[in-house]
Structure 1
Amino acid sequence: MQRIRSILFDLVLALWTGLFIPLLAILWLCGSPERGVRLASRLWARGVLVSLKWLVGLTYAERGQHKIPEGPCLIIANHQSTWETLAFLILFPDVAIVAKQELLTIPVFSWFLRKSPMILIDREGGSKAVRKMVEESQAALAQGRSVLIFPEGTRKSVSEPIEFKRGVELLYARLGRPVLPVALNSGHFWGPGQSYKRAGTISVSYLDPIAPGLAGPEFTRKAEQLLEAERQSSRPQAA
């Protein structure tokens, strides 16, 4: 039965995404205003999360909201699922997500990535890609938008320890903003390699912010330890 519910969600997701094509055309004719594009993307993401709740039985619970900095900040999160790339559009309205250019191959979604705009980088671009990431992150913060990056670079199994890729240390040093670590256990319900989505409650834990000014290796070590400790202590709640 759970597999059938998951397949039904996939069908509804395709239909829901298709319904946004006329809206995409309207926004394009209006010059693709960033605020309008982001509003539309949040509406789309909210519909996806509602569908997950009612069709799959998958929802989420937040903990530690009082730890979220008042102003725009750098958000780092472990990456276990497609779920968080959608949910962060709701959890942090107007967030600028650092995303890989490969996502531009996804119809409709790629248009929203470009026009929101998100921070798209070529992972094979070396120092040029890192410089672009820093510059666009600075611009987003100047507009009052928080910046989200998944320092692991790609989705990881729930059993794999958290290990950051290169680049996040430089971003931390150059932005000079508080860093909010966010730990998720979404991979237990919608993870890479799973044949279907499972019911339950995803835990979204906001951890103690990390102040700017630490040495790069010290920041990485502290951030990895915070996220890893929460990953190991997190226990999925069955629906």
Structure 2
Amino acid sequence: MSFLFLPLLVLWTLALAPAAPVLALMKNPVRTRAFSRFWARGVLAILRGVGRLSYVEEGLENRPAGPALYIANHQSAWETIAFAVLVPDVAIVLKEELYRIPVFGWFLRHSPMIAIDRAGGASSLKKMFREGREAAAQGRSLLIFPEGTRRGPHERAEFQRGVVLLYKALGLPAVPVAHNAGRYWKGRSFTLRPGTVRVVYLPALPPGLPDGEFLERITHAIYDTRDRLVAEDGE
């Protein structure tokens, strides 16, 4: 039944498209984010209904009560969609190209998320810091995928320097998050496997750690947990 996912996703997105001009007139990012969560919940329901793909959260006690910097591995489109529901009002650091996607890109832009031009160098980093501080000041948490692009369930990559700089700039607790979504939604395809995505929140790292210690701890926390999830999946 997973072959129905893509057409249903398109239909669901187009059905909500007329809300965009109304929200544009309102100029209210809070309402835009609420509508985006409504869309994301619909996508997760479609995944559950036709793809038999659900999810479970573990380690919820590790999530701080206030804003935090969530740092997650990146395997598929699933986590980009799901985190709008898992961490309400989250500001996701994402590549600017996603703004060009019809309808979906409009909601990302007006939520707003933190879009980065990966060829922008220092100016892109300054923009990330500025918009990250603005989001945190509004009580929003942030989410960054430090691998920079989607990786396979067994792949490891050196985390990009931007995650360290953002951690220093924000002064927020950093929550490592590991998941196995790539086992069920493959990379850049729309091929789905039935199962349960496991999202694991690990103990938060306090602000102010030295760069090297922070990077080592966050890397090991995410990859060691991800590898455990893969092993428990039987791979």
Give the corresponding residue for 1:229. Answer: 224
Task: Answer yes or no: is the 8 Å Cα contact 1:162–1:224 preserved in 2.
Answer: no
| Aligned pair partner of 1:15 in 11, 16, 26 | 11
Matching residue's letter, 1:18:
L
Give the corresponding residue for 1:132. Answer: 127
DSSP 3-state at the match of 2:43: helix
Change (3 A) 1:162 1:184: farther
Alignment of 1:83-162 (within 5 A): 83-162=78-157
Matching residue's letter, 1:34:
P
Give the corresponding residue for 2:203. Answer: 208
Matching residue's letter, 1:161:
R
DSSP 3-state at the match of 2:70: strand
Inter-partner Cα distance in structure 2 for 1:107 and 1:87:
19
1:191: how far off? Answer: 1.9
Inter-partner Cα distance in structure 1 for 2:169 and 2:98:
26
Matching residue's letter, 2:18:
P
Inter-partner Cα distance in structure 1 for 2:205 and 2:30:
29
Change (3 A) 1:119 1:104: same
Inter-partner Cα distance in structure 2 for 1:163 and 1:8:
36
Change (3 A) 1:237 1:229: closer
Inter-partner Cα distance in structure 2 for 1:207 and 1:92:
15
1:76: how far off? Answer: 0.3
Q: Deviations over 1:142-179 (max 9, x none)?
A: 00000110011110011102431121111111111100
Give the corresponding residue for 2:187. Answer: 192
DSSP 3-state at the match of 2:18: helix
Give the corresponding residue for 1:6. Answer: 2
Inter-partner Cα distance in structure 2 for 1:237 and 1:228:
15
| Aligned pair partner of 1:25 in 21, 27, 34 | 21
1:212: how far off? Answer: 1.1
More displaced, 190-199 or 55-64? 190-199
Q: Does 1:56 align with 2:51?
A: yes
Aligned length: 233
Inter-partner Cα distance in structure 2 for 1:200 and 1:111:
31
Alignment of 1:27-42 (within 5 A): 27-30=23-26, 32-42=27-37
Matching residue's letter, 1:198:
R
Matching residue's letter, 2:10:
A
Inter-partner Cα distance in structure 2 for 1:78 and 1:23:
32
RMSD of Structure 2 on Structure 1 (CA): 1.4
Runs ≥4 in structure 1, deviation > 3 angstroms? 235-238
Task: Answer yes or no: is the 8 Å Cα contact 1:190–1:196 preserved in 2.
Answer: yes
Give the corresponding residue for 1:168. Answer: 163
